[in-house]
Amino acid sequence: MLFDPEHLPAAIIIVGPTASGKTALSLQAAKHYGTSVISADSRQCYRELNIGVAKPSPEELSQCPHYFIGNHSIHDKVDAVVFETEALEAAASIFTSNNIAVVAGGTGLYVKIFCEGIDAIPSTDENVKKEVGKAWKEGGVPRLQQWINEIDPDYLEQGKEGTNPARLMRALEVKLSSGSSILSFREGIKKTRPFAIKKIGISWSREILYQRINARVDNMMEAGLLKEVESLYPFKEIKALQTVGYQELFDYLDNKYSLDEAVDKIKQHTRNFAKRQMTWYKKDPGITWAFYDELMNSFKT
């Protein structure tokens, strides 16, 4: 078996860009080992979000136990600290009866936190979060960059996250709430976990991956994504909904684009997101990369 871990217990972590097949591969691996799946996706944990976040279907969820999927509301405070706590508790629970746990998801930060832990960064003021979220909505990344440069110029020079809106917003929230730069709370000390870790990355050619992304967006629209977004429109300012696939259709509902234009933007922004995901993952030398079909065959029961 290509991916039998050398030490037990062990977490097999499946990563890859959006639309690469992480759900199918994680189910294949979980069935092979008779185990459970822990999601490392920052949006699939919300029960109100389904089609637009490519949440596993009820049929897929029924194939094995899943953790951190649909267990929170968009109105809950869910962050990296919450994820780390719940994911490690899930792993500990799995290891009581199985030596293998499968972890899958496209949120690179969550994968990193599961493996290495997270620095203790102070909580932030809710009013500050709303103010920062409003700046992002109105001015996008340029406004966030301008603001962080005014109050924490070292962040842009040292943070290496100057184009990531989520990271920029987090840096602003910490600085405005605590008066200190988020950089001052970063210790850079990796935590050790009481289990082995094996990271597997799904490879596709860029052309095929982009075709898969475009096709998935079309399938989402056919499955009723617009209706899902319409039901969430009253909550469009919530941070959980500042997400590709929802923002573009909110803009359509606000008459900023035609429906066709909104769908085209979803495809474009999803492709851009996939590129950023790969940039993140390629920096990790601990990931073993292989093509999708090869990986699926390696976990055949």
Tell me the CATH number at 49.
3.40.50.300
The number of distinct structural domains making up the chain is 3
- On whether the CB atoms of residues 137 and 237 are closer than 8 A, the answer is yes
Does 231 fall in a domain?
yes
What does the pLDDT average to over 163-182?
85
140 with 215, same domain: the answer is no
We report the CATH number of the domain holding residue 268 as 1.10.287.890
pLDDT tens column, 78-108: 988 899 999 999 999 999 999 999 999 889 9
The confidence score (pLDDT) of residue 106 equals: 87
237 with 223, same domain: the answer is yes
63 with 134, same domain: the answer is no
Q: What percent of the chain has pLDDT over 90?
A: 70
pLDDT tens column, 239-265: 899 899 999 999 999 999 999 999 999
- pLDDT at residue 188 greater than cutoff 70: no
- Local confidence band at 1 (pLDDT 50, 70, 90 cut-offs): very low
60 with 194, same domain: the answer is yes
We report the CATH number of the domain holding residue 134 as 1.10.20.140
List the domain range (segments joined by +) for residue 219: 206-276
112 with 14, same domain: the answer is yes
155 with 256, same domain: the answer is no
Q: What percent of the chain has pLDDT over 70?
A: 95
- pLDDT at residue 3 greater than cutoff 60: no
284 with 251, same domain: the answer is no
The confidence score (pLDDT) of residue 159 equals: 59
37-69 CB burial, b ≥16 within 10 A, e <16? bbbbbbbbbbebbbbbbbbbeeebbeebebbbb
Does 31 fall in a domain?
yes
Among the listed ranges 9-23, 30-44, 178-192, which one has the minimum average pLDDT value?
178-192
Does 1 fall in a domain?
no
161 with 104, same domain: the answer is no
